[in-house]
Amino acid sequence: MEPKIVAVVARGRNGVIGVATGLPWRLSSDLKRYKARTWGKPMIMGRRTFESIGRPLPGRESVVLTRDPHFRAEGAHIAADPQEALATARRLAALLGVEEIIIAGGEEIYRAFLDLTDVIELTEVALEIAGDAHFPPLNPKDWREIAREAPGRGPNDEADFAFVTLERVRP
């Protein structure tokens, strides 16, 4: 059985997910959920997202998708196109014994894998903020909300937020 493809993303009300290769907000609660949701799984991300993190995240396998044939990153797997990234992530998922592959951004990566994505773990951030990276618009006919949680804002959270799970509607 093929592993599920799960996009994990925090998005502002206006679709913004990033600014200047970073997050446009500080949400400690979301970062804790992100760690728990991605732990032990292969993660596909773009080169700029990887560079903004600065290293492979502990406890996860990073598959970095880049057009730069000379790009190297110690501890990460490099892929030249989405098909290679997905094949690498599937191999890693089998080796790790996990049933999910994480799509970790940024904008181009979410767009490249959206048609293959089975589940979106979305943090809806209650801000409209300027940014230069956006999550692609979703067709409401293609997605159904299956879970929503609105925890209170923690002491290290700059905004209110909700954790929402969307599942692809299959014909």
- Residues 95-140 have pLDDT tens digits of 999 999 999 999 999 999 999 999 999 999 999 999 999 999 999 9
Gap between the Cα atoms of 48 and 133, Å rounded: 11
Residue 82's pLDDT band (boundaries 50, 70, 90)?
Answer: very high
Would you say 93 and 41 are in contact if contact means Cβ atoms under 8 Å apart?
A: yes
**pLDDT above 80: residue 37:** yes
CA distance to 97, 144, 156, per residue, from 167 (Å): 22, 5, 29
pLDDT classification of 11: cutoffs 50, 70, 90: very high
Tokens of 120: 């979106």
Mean pLDDT of the 143-169 span? 96
- The Cα 44–Cα 7 span in angstroms is 9
Q: Are strands 16-18 and 4-12 parallel, antiparallel or unpaired?
A: unpaired
What average pLDDT does this structure show over 4-13? Answer: 97
**Class for domain 4-168, per CATH?**
alpha beta
- Token pair, residue 122, equals 């979305």
Say whether pLDDT at 171 is over 80. Answer: no
